[in-house]
Structure 1
Amino acid sequence: MAEQKSSGAAQAPKKDIKTVKADQKARRRAEKLEAKERKKAGKANKRGFFKQIGDVFKMTRKYDPSVVWWMVGAFVAALVVGLVIGLLTGSPVLWTLMFIPLGLLAAIIIMNKKAEKAAFAQIDGRPGAAGAALSQLGRGWVVEDEPIAVNPRTQETVFRATGKAGVVLVADGDYNRAKKLADKQRKHMERFLPNVEIRVLQVGKGPSEVELHEVKSTIKRMKKTLNRHEVRAVEQRISSLPKNNLGIPKGVDPYRMRPDRKSMRGR
């Protein structure tokens, strides 16, 4: 009996060792599978990134075929700069190679600028296009998601952005009707914000208008008159105003209006 017990006790550790080894194999197998999945996911993401770049390039080239020459010119210009520096320093090959990534970066920047212009060209003339342009302002600006004033019959809209340049009202639609709508909003807001700069920007292609793709850069160049705390105070003051006083007609949802067929075809 004692011998049987001792042999059973001796076999138990062997089973435990086998179990541990099996667990280790299973764990290594799982780790290998996980590593393969991560590698596949990384390759898929890389393919997705390049596919996205390709899609943007195709869309931009369709709108503006000259983007190819602009990109090639930017790349070649960067290489020329590197070559000139290399000739002056005695290492032309080294400096040319160093400027290849900069040339690629310059080409991508050119493409992005052209792509942004092409994207705005696709929505130019549609109701709410000014709001899409304002949404590109980014950090430091408070932009209303919906227009603060709407003409439900002719679909002129006025959007508002608040930042260090003060309050900017962006009017979109027929020049005279949109200007009248924006001026009404400006006069109303001046009563509540007497010491704040309130500017009106008209979107369009006329001499006194700003094209849709230039709205962001135009506003960014405006003179700063407020600091960060004043911007917050102004926005809080605007938020406290009754919504009905801001010019949106009761019962009108700007996003359910019929699209202006003339503006969809282009004026």
Structure 2
Amino acid sequence: MAKSPDSAHTAADKPKRSLFSRRPKDGAAKKAKKPGRLKQMVDIYKMTRRHDPNVTWLMLGAFLGAIALCLGLGFAFNNWITGLMVGLPLGVLGALLIMSRRAERAAYAQIEGKPGAAGAALSALKKGWIFDEQPASVNPRTQDVVFRAIGKPGVVLITEGPSTRVRGLVDAERRRLSRILPNVTVTVIETGRGEGQVPIAKVTKTMNKLKGELTKVEVSAVNKRISSMGNKLPIPKGIDPFKARPDHKAARGR
């Protein structure tokens, strides 16, 4: 059967698909992905430099120091080329380590003093800790909160707010826990810059230094016992406003 002129004209107007037509798209996608990590590192550097102007000089010092050290060893063994080849990657690694440490401090400085900062700090806990994204106790009027974490040291309550105001929330939470976990140690860490308080940047370090008393199985059992209380409190406005909490699993011990 002969084709009609209209159908022939329509077929001629359709662009021909080439086997190589997808290659530019794939290449463009790859090029779009490659700058992603680099841009992320640049953004982290810019954020860090805003809060810590000395980070540039520290990174440069670490980079040049590593190269100078390796070159010195290379000249000592009459092989400066190897020393340079080893010094360059070590210098880059040293600079990145400096930026990483300083970036962490800058991130804590951004959220310190803001509602939800204590909960955001818990995201940096090492494996073995279990914590809820929602606070265990909240005062909606003052926005004082108490976060709860469970680990080998037992139950740790992390407070956010003045000591005099948050004391009532802590006492109420202690009473609730003592009814279901009478033999489990409950430790209280108050965040802040006042006397006896722990800065946000040192919360996780303080928790990791606590003496372990429970096994991994007991930690899981304690978590299940607390979960049975069914405590799901709504977070008042202002909690974690900038979503500073990194994208980690809430239950690190699972």
Q: If the length of structure 1 is used for normalisation, what is the TM-score? A: 0.75
CA distance in 1, matches of 2:73, 2:152: 41
- Which residue is 1:20 aligned to? none
- Which residue is 1:74 aligned to? 62
Q: Which moved more, 1:35-44 or 1:164-173?
A: 35-44
- The offset of 1:38, in angstroms, is 2.5
Alignment of 1:13-28 (within 5 A): none
CA distance in 2, matches of 1:86, 1:37: 47
- Which residue is 2:246 aligned to? none
Q: How has the CA–CA distance of structure 1 residues 176 and 74 changed in structure 2, closer, same or farther, with 3 Å as cutoff?
A: farther
CA distance in 1, matches of 2:84, 2:156: 46
CA distance in 2, matches of 1:178, 1:77: 48
- Which residue is 2:236 aligned to? 255
1:156-199 per-residue CA deviation (whole Å, 9 max, x = no partner) reads: 10001112232211101112222442243234313322332321
- What is the aligned residue count? 225
- The offset of 1:226, in angstroms, is 2.2
Whichever residue aligns with residue 189 of structure 1, its letter is L
CA distance in 1, matches of 2:69, 2:194: 39
- Which residue is 1:11 aligned to? none
CA distance in 2, matches of 1:197, 1:77: 47
- The answer on 1:99 being equivalent to 2:80 is no
Structure 1 unaligned regions, length at least 5: 1-25, 260-267
Which has the greater radius of gyration?
Answer: 1
For the 8 Å contact 1:85–1:95, the answer to whether it is kept is yes
- The answer on 1:48 being equivalent to 2:36 is yes
Q: How has the CA–CA distance of structure 1 residues 130 and 33 changed in structure 2, closer, same or farther, with 3 Å as cutoff?
A: same
CA distance in 2, matches of 1:89, 1:179: 65
Alignment of 1:85-124 (within 5 A): 85-124=73-112
For the 8 Å contact 1:152–1:257, the answer to whether it is kept is no
- Which residue is 1:149 aligned to? 137
- The answer on 1:193 being equivalent to 2:181 is yes
- The answer on 1:165 being equivalent to 2:153 is yes
Q: How has the CA–CA distance of structure 1 residues 84 and 198 changed in structure 2, closer, same or farther, with 3 Å as cutoff?
A: farther
Whichever residue aligns with residue 59 of structure 2, its letter is M
Secondary structure class of the residue paired with 1:243: coil
Secondary structure class of the residue paired with 1:255: coil
Q: How has the CA–CA distance of structure 1 residues 221 and 102 changed in structure 2, closer, same or farther, with 3 Å as cutoff?
A: farther
- Which residue is 1:128 aligned to? 116
For the 8 Å contact 2:115–2:239, the answer to whether it is kept is no
- The offset of 1:242, in angstroms, is 4.6
- The offset of 1:47, in angstroms, is 1.3
For the 8 Å contact 2:146–2:169, the answer to whether it is kept is yes
Percent identity for Structure 1 against Structure 2: 42
Q: Point out which structure has higher relative CO (alpha carbons under 8 A, 6+ apart).
A: 2
CA distance in 1, matches of 2:169, 2:72: 56
- The offset of 1:113, in angstroms, is 1.9
Secondary structure class of the residue paired with 1:168: strand
- The offset of 1:129, in angstroms, is 1.3
- The answer on 1:176 being equivalent to 2:157 is no
- The offset of 1:132, in angstroms, is 0.9
- The answer on 1:38 being equivalent to 2:26 is yes
For the 8 Å contact 1:183–1:200, the answer to whether it is kept is no
